[in-house]
Structure 1
Amino acid sequence: MPKLAESVPAGVVAGALRFAFALPRPLRNLVIGRPIVLDGQRLHPEAQLILRLQRLAGEDWTTTTPAANRTALSRSNALVSGPVVEGVTVRALDMDGVPGRFYTPHGLPGGSPLLVFYHGGGWVSGDLDSHDNLCRFLAVEAGVRVLSADYRLAPEHPFPAAADDARTAFEWAVANASELKVDPARIALGGDSAGGNLAAVTALHAREAKPVFLLLFYPAVDATVRRRSRELFGRGFFLTDEKMDWFLDHYAPSRDTHADPRLSVLLAEDLSGLPPTYLATAGFDPLRDEGEAFAAKLAEQGVPVVLRRHEGLFHGYANILGVGGVFREAVAEAVGALRTGLALANARQDVPETA
């Protein structure tokens, strides 16, 4: 028997979500229940409301089969991503066999910076559509062109297929900068979750040109260690301990590959060549501690890095642009970091070399 959530159109459920967020605060608090405090952090009321409504509706980002997981993620994103962000022209691209989607804000002149973006989804799910509104938001708000890469997914294409496609997309963008009307010296990489992993891996392993900035939302960076945040937040906060094992078993079924820096980029001996980085974690995220360990290692090796923990949020917040305000504010902060990082990269280009 299908779950109730699966029998109700996504638009109806999305409308109910917006209605719940519009309720007077006392009524919202009744729905939310008692505050959740873990590890000295309080789950933000808006985050708690979404999780509560998700449970009441029977919505679940399932891990039964890859096909079911992909459908569930697409539906989950459709519920919270909000109205389509306007003010951007979108077209499809082929990047040496890797499909892509190219976003150009209206009126943006040629020679702009470019963000190559990799979607999350545990290397198993997610696609150009699941992160379409996020890419639109990043393009319009940051004033950059955005190129979203539709890398191959596991288990049909296990490790290192996604990493190979991610590097192909970046190197294609560099080689075709003129056709894309972007500045080849101001290309940044970004991604969320598994996509953040691919952005960092690509920055480390790109063979020639290097990105000038990294924009990482709660990246997965170490498949070899179970850190404390995974024990604390492994149940009840969207991304679960069970899901993490399930994703990894599909993407990298051989444990011999788990320490490979093309997967566990945190284990790379030398990270000093990575560009300035903005790395955001969520307080109630099993991936929190490994992301913060990565930021610490970058800083130790001399890489300029800004680490931002959004204490009251959970994994996946970057796609929640349509309900509440705290999630959009967190993404807007990242946009500001991206704009600043690209501006500083431009300033570095303009400084004349001394003899």
Structure 2
Amino acid sequence: MDTLLRTALGTVQGNALKPVTVLPQALRHRLAGAPIQIDGNVLDPDLQVLMRLENLLPSGRRSVANARSGLVTMSKLVAGHPRELQRVTELTVRGADGQLGARLYVPRTAGRGLLVFFHGGGWVVGDLDSHDAYCRDLAAEASIRVLAVDYRLAPEAEAPVAAEDAIAAFSWAVEHAEDLGADPALVAVGGDSAGGNLSAVVAQQCVLRGLPAPALQLLLYPSLDMVGRRPSRDLFGEGFYLTEEDIIWYREHYTPDPAVRSNPLVSPIFTKDLSGLAPAHIVTAGFDPLRDEGNEYAALLADAGVQVTHICEPGMIHGFANILALGGETRAAQLRIATRLREALF
């Protein structure tokens, strides 16, 4: 079986991720092995093949530079064919202390909505390129403009610099919405993982600081608590892309001072009053170590009277939104995200 997996891995790398779903079904079943069922959820078989292939890649302690380049490389492998849009424009936006790079995605059919998007990567890795394919896809499928922001990363910029950059950039986007072709009343904030954390912070701080609030907060498998630990960390901390070692590595780089980890600018789940926040769409994944904190935050928002839609995608892993080369259930889950955005912002 290892020989078969390594042959498939070579095929994947040689084709910039030839979709697993185009392999013969019998071969896919052999590659996947026995179904993985944990906590009542069954891992999507195509993701199961991908995880087995990913586990064959070299691993170990990494430098920040290697981790950053590695994410860009991996994101290209799983991106599929990037969507063609009407226009993609490089620009700068206001950060907390100077200008930040940004990229505006305009689809061929665009409503008046705008999503300000913050990429994932544990506040340490990720950039405009690592999430370019997903931003293109989201803009095309939701028929909205997407403004991706290149906020400052740790360890060069420790917490809460990224949060302050996100707040400043979102406020800039609302102020300049008409220049970007959008309605100022239809500017949403969203992101995946660490970007979901920043988006939750933005939604909270807009209320606390008296700033224009987002039309929607889109939180994709967000990291929300840098202090506590929930059962999903133990259930899925190994073998499902985001590992326990990864979580600790990111936390140590972003918050080397443990005293800041309970600050709501870092761990938005600790905000005492969640009432009055923007409507939220929260997506969690059944095989994600961060699943439980996302589920808990959705419940806390609902209890505070916030309008919440929450989907826990049972067969998905952390990071599934970026795996655009797969079809099947992964694609269906991605399209559900785009549909919610279109409903709210088109």
TM-score by length of 2: 0.92
Query: In structure 2, the residue corresponding to 1:191 is in which secondary structure?
Result: strand
Structure 2 runs not aligned, ≥5 long:
1-8
1:23-50: CA deviations, max 9, x gaps?
2211111111111111111111011010
Structure 1 runs not aligned, ≥5 long:
1-8, 344-355
What amino acid is aligned across from residue 126 of structure 1 in structure 2?
G
- Quick one: which of 232, 237, 260 aligns to 1:234? 237
* Alpha-carbon distance in 2 for matches of 1:204, 1:289: 20
* Alpha-carbon distance in 2 for matches of 1:187, 1:84: 24
Correspondence for 2:69: 71
Q: CA deviation at 1:108?
A: 3.2
> Runs of 4 or more off by more than 3 Å in structure 1?
9-12
Sort the Cα spacing of 1:221 and 1:19 in 2 relative to 1 into closer, same or farther, 3 A: closer
Query: In structure 2, the residue corresponding to 1:108 is in which secondary structure?
Result: coil
Please list, as runs of the form range in 1=range in 2, the aligned pairs for 1:61-100 lying within 5 A after superposition.
63-96=61-94, 97-100=99-102
* Alpha-carbon distance in 1 for matches of 2:205, 2:186: 18
Correspondence for 1:161: 161
1:193-242: CA deviations, max 9, x gaps?
00000001011112311101011110001111010000110001000011
Q: CA deviation at 1:87?
A: 2.5
What amino acid is aligned across from residue 137 of structure 1 in structure 2?
D
Sort the Cα spacing of 1:19 and 1:323 in 2 relative to 1 into closer, same or farther, 3 A: closer
* Alpha-carbon distance in 1 for matches of 2:189, 2:11: 32
- Quick one: which of 253, 257, 267 aligns to 2:270? 267
Q: CA deviation at 1:328?
A: 1.9
1:281 aligns with 2:284: yes
Q: CA deviation at 1:11?
A: 9.4
* Alpha-carbon distance in 2 for matches of 1:25, 1:166: 44
* Alpha-carbon distance in 1 for matches of 2:106, 2:202: 23
What amino acid is aligned across from residue 281 of structure 2 in structure 1?
Y
Query: In structure 1, the residue corresponding to 2:102 is in which secondary structure?
Result: strand
Bigger shift: residues 236-245 or 24-33 = 24-33
Task: Indicate if the aligned counterparts of 1:98 and 1:168 stay in contact, CA closer than 8 A.
Answer: no
Sort the Cα spacing of 1:122 and 1:25 in 2 relative to 1 into closer, same or farther, 3 A: same
- Quick one: which of 94, 106, 109 aligns to 2:108? 106
Task: Indicate if the aligned counterparts of 1:99 and 1:149 stay in contact, CA closer than 8 A.
Answer: yes
* Alpha-carbon distance in 2 for matches of 1:234, 1:130: 23
TM-score by length of 1: 0.90
* Alpha-carbon distance in 2 for matches of 1:271, 1:232: 29
Sort the Cα spacing of 1:123 and 1:19 in 2 relative to 1 into closer, same or farther, 3 A: closer
Sort the Cα spacing of 1:94 and 1:127 in 2 relative to 1 into closer, same or farther, 3 A: same
1:142-167: CA deviations, max 9, x gaps?
11111000000000111011101111
Query: In structure 2, the residue corresponding to 1:308 is in which secondary structure?
Result: strand
Correspondence for 1:177: 177
Correspondence for 2:18: 18
* Alpha-carbon distance in 1 for matches of 2:296, 2:19: 39
Q: CA deviation at 1:324?
A: 3.1
Correspondence for 1:224: 227
Task: Indicate if the aligned counterparts of 1:17 and 1:53 stay in contact, CA closer than 8 A.
Answer: no
* Alpha-carbon distance in 1 for matches of 2:341, 2:124: 27
- Quick one: which of 217, 220, 224 aligns to 1:214? 217
Task: Indicate if the aligned counterparts of 1:11 and 1:79 stay in contact, CA closer than 8 A.
Answer: no
Task: Indicate if the aligned counterparts of 1:120 and 1:195 stay in contact, CA closer than 8 A.
Answer: yes
Please list, as runs of the form range in 1=range in 2, the aligned pairs for 1:284-295 lying within 5 A after superposition.
284-295=287-298
Task: Indicate if the aligned counterparts of 2:114 and 2:345 stay in contact, CA closer than 8 A.
Answer: no
* Alpha-carbon distance in 2 for matches of 1:20, 1:282: 20
Q: CA deviation at 1:12?
A: 6.2
Query: In structure 2, the residue corresponding to 1:101 is in which secondary structure?
Result: strand
* Alpha-carbon distance in 2 for matches of 1:28, 1:337: 31
- Quick one: which of 311, 315, 326 aligns to 1:323? 326
1:257 aligns with 2:260: yes
What amino acid is aligned across from residue 80 of structure 1 in structure 2?
V
What amino acid is aligned across from residue 100 of structure 1 in structure 2?
A
Task: Indicate if the aligned counterparts of 1:281 and 1:310 stay in contact, CA closer than 8 A.
Answer: yes
Identity in percent = 47
Query: In structure 1, the residue corresponding to 2:156 is in which secondary structure?
Result: coil
Query: In structure 2, the residue corresponding to 1:185 is in which secondary structure?
Result: helix
1:126 aligns with 2:113: no
Task: Indicate if the aligned counterparts of 1:10 and 1:75 stay in contact, CA closer than 8 A.
Answer: no
What do you get for the CA RMSD once the two structures are aligned? 1.8
* Alpha-carbon distance in 2 for matches of 1:324, 1:123: 29
Q: CA deviation at 1:283?
A: 0.6
